[in-house]
Amino acid sequence: MAFDYDLFVIGGGSGGVRAARVAAGENGAKVALAEESRYGGTCVIRGCVPKKLMVFASSYGSVAQDAGAYGWDVTQGGFDWTKFRTKMNAELDRLEGVYRSLLKNSGVESFDQRARVKDPHTVELADGRTFTAKHILLAMGGRPVRPDMPNAHLAMVSDDIFNMPKMPKTVLIVGGGYIACEFACILQGLGVQVTQYYRGAQILRGFDDEARGLISEEMRTQGIDIHTGANVLQMAPEAAVKAAGGADAAMAYPAGETPVMTGDGDGPLWVKSTTGHEGVYDAVFFATGRAPNTDNMGLEDVGVKLGRAGEVVVDDYSQTDVPSIYAIGDVTNRVNLTPVAIREGMAFVETVFKGNPTKVDHDLIPSAVFTQPEMGTVGLSEEAAREIEPVDIYCTSFRPMKSAFAGAPNRVLMKLVVSKATDIVLGCHIVAPDAGEMIQLAGVAVKMGATKADFDRTVAVHPTMSEEIVTMKNPVRSA
């Protein structure tokens, strides 16, 4: 059978674009790609890149005070959200242009519209056109979801926060994962009064307990009002509550299209928590989960299996139950990180177009949480490791030189989880400024299977925070 394309990619994020351009540019395949929104996907347009720019912006708020301790006379001004947002959007436009150019220069034909799967070898575009392909690659990514509750549409999700018309003075963030905690720190650093609800006992579930405990303490020290064991019980515009004479009557507020983001439109939101706490906020931000973009894609109709969360189920080679259809990135809900999606895309090309079946290694992936301070982590947490085997824990927490000299209370943490039997470092966890930069390098050692003795043999770089990683001689406890 003659196909229109060798490969049709649905989704223009980092993973899909990488697979498309390498298959076409390096392997001579005839490739098409469809994207219904902006090229670059979640990471470039609605996630990693704009978020990190906001992290950088928020970190300057304390510069004047810290500089004063070091002898500088610096006057702190206010943050100009409009100026920053304009420059940020220009950068995102530039990056999207780069993605488009990469595809064009590789010979990939692009369609700026939604596509869905019609049969194992056919893709249908929104305008009704259909194309056949020997292989179809699903790379649609994921999206933030709102909870199923009255008036949830009035709140922001992560896609909205980069487009706020102005900066709110007060915000309630609902959630305790890395997205919630990162934006709590970002907004607090930009001068917003932040309250955070999390239904669990401690934020950042799934990360090392000691590390996330320190981050929680540091966030509270910065002024973030964290309520654990709390969730939103009721939410409505403050004006509607007052006009209706009470919250219960206001719950019938009609649904609309635009979230309340900065006190405009419907005005501030009144919120009551499950613990009885009440507050009024210029904006509410739900960071309560994400879902794979598999709705109305025709996948189950052609035999592609979906998991409980709507994710595309794939094997070790990213192949679905339909042999001609593969999936990579967040739509598979394996490890939802941009570098992982890119590696999955490269492995797909190796497998399908180079005849070199390649599995993606999802073990010992370093990652960072861009709170303030940041957390860098690779390998097993203490809690996970001790469920597997006996371990020694090497850990230190201290005020680094820069903070101590300035009289700031901020602390950092360096931690190694080490196998008693083999001396192999099973996990490394860092809470400190620029921990993301540190963990990238530590991740190389952990991935190689370095032992604690290997760390000990490494001479310290002095004076640095990270030297503690190689100078911790005795375990603080064993488990």
Decide which of 287, 311, 339 is a domain's last residue.
Answer: 287
Which CATH number covers residue 196? 3.50.50.60
Question: Is 9 found in the same domain as 57?
Answer: yes
Among 140, 114, 105, CA closest to 21: 105
Does a structural domain hold residue 214?
Answer: yes
Is residue 462 among the annotated active site residues? yes
Does a structural domain hold residue 189?
Answer: yes
Per the structure, the complete domain to which residue 408 belongs is given by 367-478
Q: CA-to-CA distance for 442 and 348, rounded, in angstroms?
A: 28
Tell me the angle at which helices 14-25 and 338-353 cross, rounded to the nearest 10 degrees.
30
pLDDT recorded at residue 249: 59
Give the CA dihedral 365, 366, 370, 375, nearest 10 degrees: 130
Decide which of 327, 354, 381 is a domain's last residue.
Answer: 354
pLDDT recorded at residue 260: 52
Question: Is 280 found in the same domain as 153?
Answer: yes
Question: Is 308 found in the same domain as 281?
Answer: no
Half-sphere exposure of 448 (CA within 13 A, CB side): 11
Q: Which two tokens stand for residue 338?
A: 């941009």
Question: Is 279 found in the same domain as 155?
Answer: yes
Cβ-contact 239, 267 below 8 angstroms: yes
* Predicted model pTM: 0.95
Question: Is 70 found in the same domain as 139?
Answer: yes
Residue bearing tokens 């094997």: 315
DSSP 353: H
Does a structural domain hold residue 359?
Answer: no
Question: Is 470 found in the same domain as 349?
Answer: no
pLDDT recorded at residue 245: 75
The one catalytic residue in 227, 277, 429, 462 is: 462
Among 159, 125, 163, CA closest to 144: 159
Q: Please report, in tens digits, the pLDDT of each residue of the chain (479 residues total).
A: 799 999 999 999 999 999 999 999 999 999 999 999 999 999 999 999 999 999 999 999 988 889 999 999 988 889 999 999 999 999 999 999 999 999 999 999 999 999 999 999 999 999 999 999 999 999 999 999 999 999 999 999 999 999 999 999 999 999 999 999 999 999 999 999 999 999 999 999 999 999 999 999 999 999 999 999 999 999 999 988 888 777 665 665 554 444 555 444 458 999 999 999 999 999 999 999 999 999 999 999 999 999 999 999 999 999 999 999 999 999 999 999 999 999 999 999 999 999 999 999 999 999 999 999 999 999 999 999 999 999 999 999 999 999 999 999 999 999 999 999 999 999 999 999 999 999 999 999 999 999 999 999 999 999 999 999 999 999 999 98
Question: Is 224 found in the same domain as 122?
Answer: no
Question: Is 337 found in the same domain as 378?
Answer: no
Domain count, the chain: 3
Among 286, 346, 285, 278, CA closest to 318: 346
Give residues with Cβ within 8 angstroms of 60, minimum separation 6: none
Q: CA-to-CA distance for 168 and 368, rounded, in angstroms?
A: 27
Question: Is 262 found in the same domain as 392?
Answer: no
Give residues with Cβ within 8 angstroms of 180, minimum separation 6: 173, 174, 196, 198, 203, 285, 287, 288
Decide which of 311, 327, 354 is a domain's last residue.
Answer: 354
Does a structural domain hold residue 361?
Answer: no
Among 325, 324, 327, 322, CA closest to 310: 327
What is the CA 140 to chain-centroid distance, rounded? 16
| Segment holding 14, helix H or strand E | helix 14-25
pLDDT recorded at residue 95: 98
Cβ-contact 108, 33 below 8 angstroms: yes
Question: Is 126 found in the same domain as 17?
Answer: yes
Question: Is 175 found in the same domain as 134?
Answer: no
Question: Is 274 found in the same domain as 165?
Answer: yes
DSSP-assigned states of every residue in 72-93: ---------HHHHHHHHHHHHH
Does a structural domain hold residue 362?
Answer: no
Which CATH number covers residue 445? 3.30.390.30
Does a structural domain hold residue 440?
Answer: yes
